[in-house]
Chain A
Amino acid sequence: MTQSMTRPRIFVPRDAIALALGADDVEREIVAAVRSQGIDIEIVRTGSRGLFWLEPMIEIETATGRIAYGPVKPEDVGPLFAIGWLYGQADRLRLGRPEDIPFLKRQTRFTFARCGVIDRLSLADYRAHGGMRGLERALALGPTAIIDEVTKSGLRGRGGAGFPTGIKWKTTADAQAAQKYIVCNADEGDSGTYADRMLMEGDPFCLIEGMAIAGIAVGATKGFVYIRSEYPHAIQILGRALKMARDEGILGARIAGSTHYFDIEIRVGAGAYVCGEETALLDSLEGKRATVRAKPPLPAHKGAFGRPTVVNNVISLASVPAILADGADAYHDLGYGRSRGTMPIQLAGNVKHRGLFEAAFGLTLGDIIDDIGGGTASGRPVRAVQVGGPLGAYFPRSYFDTPFDYEAFAAKNGLIGHGGVVVFDDTVDMARQARFAMEFCSIESCGKCTPCRIGSTRGVEVIDKIVKGERRAENLTLLQELCETMRFGSLCALGGFVPFPVTSAITHFPEDFGGAPLNATAE
C-alpha cells in the first residue's frame, strides 16, 4: 500500500447532530492518537453529509479517494488507527466511499452538494467546489437578467408556502425606495426539519453568496439573517463566515470587485415559533412583539422597517448560486408538475435511515419512508407520518402513494412545508398527537387572532373530553367546527393550519378517539 503524496487529511463533522452524538469526543481521541504516534495529518472540520444514523461519520483521504467510517465512538479511534484506517483498511465500521453509500448515491445533491464535503470555513475550499461562480455570473448578467433566470428556474420558496421566488424578487425590484432589504428566514422551528441548520453549519458561504445575488437583483444593500436562538452552532459558524467574507471583499463596499454594496447582519430570535411566519419575523426584527401583520401590504412593498423587503428561506437563497452558475434549465429540468428542482427531504423521528435526502420532487411518500428511510428505527410497523412540521397533516399508510409535491399534498389536505418527515410507529396515540398540536398552538400563538389564541386552548379541552368519553359525538362535531373556525378565521398559518394535524388524526385514526377503526379496504 502507498500513502498519498500530500499530507493526509481526516474529515471530522461538526454539525450539531454529529456533536450531539459525540463528534467532539471522537475528535479529541483522534488528536490524542495523532500526537502520541507522531503522525503528520490535517484535521478538516466539515458540516455533515446528512447520513445521521451513521454519525459521527469520519472520512479519511486515501490514495484512492475518501473512505468513510461510522458511526465512530471515542473508544473506536485507537483500534481504527491500529488497523490502518489512514490507508482505508477494512473494519466493521468501514462504509467505503461515501458517494457509493446507497442513501447518498440515490440523491441529487444540488443545494447540498458541498455540505459535509468541504472545510466549511475555507473560502478556498468553497471556490474549489464551485462556490462564487453564481455571484460572478450574476454580476455579469445584471439585475433584470438575474431575476429572469431565477423565475425561469421555477424555484419556489422552500420555507413552506412555495411562492415563486422570481416573482417575489421582481416585486421588490420594481418597488421604489432609497433602502431595500434582503431578510433570510432562518427561524426553522418545525419539528422534523433541520435543512437550514445543516446548510448554515456546513456551507455558510453558499447562503452568503445567495443573499448577495438577491441584493444585486433587487437593489438591496443590507441583509439580515434571522436565526432562531435554538441554533447556537449555526449562529457561531455563520458569524465567522460573514467576517471572512467581509475580509475577502465578498461583502462590503465593492462586493466581489463590483460597484455593488451589500452587507449582512445576524439577528437572533428569542424562542417564538411564530417568527417563522414572515410578517411576525419582520416585527421581531424591528424589536417588537412578534405579531402577525395583515397582508397587504406585502413585505415586498413594505417589509422590514417599512421598506421593500425580500423575505426568503435559507434553502431558497442557498439554491440561487447553483441556479445562476449552472443556468435555470439545469434546475428546471428536475422536478414534478409545478414543483421544480430539488427538495431537501428531512427524515426524522422513528425512522431507520435518519437524514437529509435531497432529490427532485415526485418521489412517493412510500418510497421515502419504506425504501429510502428503511422503515422505523424501532423495527415496529409505521402507523402515521407527519409531513411539514407541527402544522402538517398525519398521513396513514394508505396515503403512501402520494407524490412529494406541493400540489399533491395540498390535494390530500396536507402540506409538505419545509420538507420535514416525522415517522411514528404503531405505539403512537393519535389523540395525544392531536391534543399536542392544539397545545403547541396555544403556547406559540402570537395572540392577534381570537380563533388561534382562544381556539387552541378550547381545542385541548375538547380533545380531553373526547378521550374521556364525555358526550363523544357532540364533542367531535364541536371540535370539527372549532377547526373550521380556526382554519378560516386566523390570519396566518399557525392558527390556520393547526386543524390539519387535528382533523387528519380524527379522519384516519378514529379508533384513537373512541370510534370504530376504518375499514382498511374502504380507506
Chain B
Amino acid sequence: MTWNRERAQEIIDAHQNLDGAALPILHALQHEFGYVDREAVPMVAQALNLSRAEVHGVVSFYHDFREAPAGRHVLKLCRAEACQSMGADALAEQARQRLNVDWHETTRDEQVTLEPVFCLGLCACAPAAMLDGQVFGALDEARLSSLIDRARR
C-alpha cells in the first residue's frame, strides 16, 4: 500500500516492545509499503528513544532497506563466486542490457528493479536468481531471458 502515517504508527506500536526492535520494525514497514519512507525515521526514533540520526544510520547501513519504492518486480541476480564460476557475469551483462538499467535501477516503465545479491545459498545450482522472492537456478541465456519476459509482463 502507499505510505500512510497512521498505518506506520500501528506497525511501530506492534513491534516496539521487542528486544532490539529496530530491524523488525523496519522490515515490517518495508513489507507494508515497499520501502522505508523518510517520514518513518523520526517516528521510529521516537518509539525506540533513539535519535533520528541513529535510525537513519540503521536504515542506510543495510542493503535491504529501500528509501524509495522499487519497480513492480524485483529481480535479484547473484553476483558471488559460485555463480561467477558458472557464467553469472555474462548473464548480469545480458540483464543490464535487456532491461537497459544498471544495478539498483528500475526500468523506465517502473516494471522491474534489478539488484545484485551476494549469495542466495543456491550455489549448487548456479547461476541463481530470485524474482519477487521466488528462486531460480541453473540459469542460462534462455532461462534468464524468459525470467525477464515474465517480470516485464
Contacts and interface: CB of A to CB of B under 8 A. Distances in A.
Contact of A19 (B80, B81, B135): B135
B118 A273 contact: yes
A288 B58 contact: yes
A72 interface: no
Given A288-B58, A354-B124, A423-B85, A189 B118 contact: yes
Given A20-B135, A289-B58, A428-B85, A268 B27 contact: yes
Interface in A207-261: 229-233
A52 B85 contact: no
A424 B81 CA distance: 9
12 contacts: A17-B125, A190-B119, A191-B82, A191-B83, A193-B123, A229-B64, A269-B64, A270-B62, A285-B23, A290-B61, A422-B82, A436-B81
B127 to A, nearest CB: 10
B119 A230 contact: yes
Given A191-B118, A230-B121, A271 B81 contact: no
Contacts of B83: 191, 349
B6 interface: no
Interface of B: 19-24, 26-27, 48, 54, 57-58, 61-65, 80-86, 117-126, 128, 130, 133, 135-138
A287 interface: yes
Contacts of A193: 119, 121, 123
A17 to B, nearest CB: 5
A436 B57 contact: no
B123 A288 contact: no
Contacts of A285: 20, 23
Interface in A372-428: 377, 386, 389-390, 420, 422-425, 428
Contact of A346 (B61, B123, B135): B123
B70 to A, nearest CB: 14
B124 A16 contact: no
Contacts of A433: 81, 84
B16 to A, nearest CB: 11
Given A231-B121, A273-B118, A349 B20 contact: no
A20 B125 contact: yes
Interface string A51-75: 0110100000000000000000000
B58 A52 contact: no
A205 to B, nearest CB: 20
B123 A272 contact: no
Contact of A271 (B62, B80, B85, B124): B62
Given A193-B119, A355-B124, 7 more contacts: A17-B122, A189-B119, A231-B121, A270-B63, A285-B23, A346-B124, A350-B85
Contacts of B126: 348-349
Contacts of A9: none
Best-surrounded residue of A284, A347, A423 (most CB of chain B within 10 A): A284
Chain A at the B interface: SS class: mixed
Contacts of B123: 191-194, 346, 348-349, 354, 420, 422
Contacts of B84: 349, 433, 436
A21 B121 contact: no
B23 A284 contact: yes
A424 B82 CA distance: 8
A272 B86 contact: no
B63 A271 contact: yes
A94 to B, nearest CB: 22
Given A191-B119, A197-B121, A230-B119, A287 B58 contact: yes
Contacts of A268: 23-24, 27
Given A267-B24, A270-B64, A424-B85, A16 B119 contact: no
Contact of A377 (B21, B61, B63, B86): B86
Interface in A264-314: 267-273, 284-290, 305
A110 interface: no
B125 A270 contact: no
A440 interface: yes
Nearest to B21: A287
Contact of B125 (A288, A354, A436): A354
A422 B82 CA distance: 6
Best-surrounded residue of A188, A271, A349, A350 (most CB of chain B within 10 A): A349
Contacts of B80: 191, 390, 440
A189 B123 CA distance: 11
Contacts of A389: 81
A-B residue pairs, 6 tightest by C-beta: A287-B22, A20-B137, A191-B80, A271-B63, A270-B62, A349-B85
Nearest to B30: A270
A55 B125 contact: yes
A415 B111 CA distance: 43
Contacts of A188: 121
A356 B135 CA distance: 19
A21 B138 contact: yes
Contacts of B121: 16, 188, 193-194, 196-197, 230-231
B20 A230 contact: no
Nearest to A439: B79
B81 A191 contact: yes
A305 B18 CA distance: 12
Contacts of B26: 270
A440 B125 contact: no
A335 B133 CA distance: 39
A272 B21 CA distance: 17
A21 B85 contact: no
Nearest to A197: B121
B81 A270 contact: no
Contacts of A194: 121-124
A230 B137 contact: no
A355 B123 CA distance: 9
Contacts of A189: 118-119
Best-surrounded residue of B48, B80, B119, B128 (most CB of chain A within 10 A): B119
Contacts of B81: 191-192, 349, 386, 389-390, 422, 433, 436
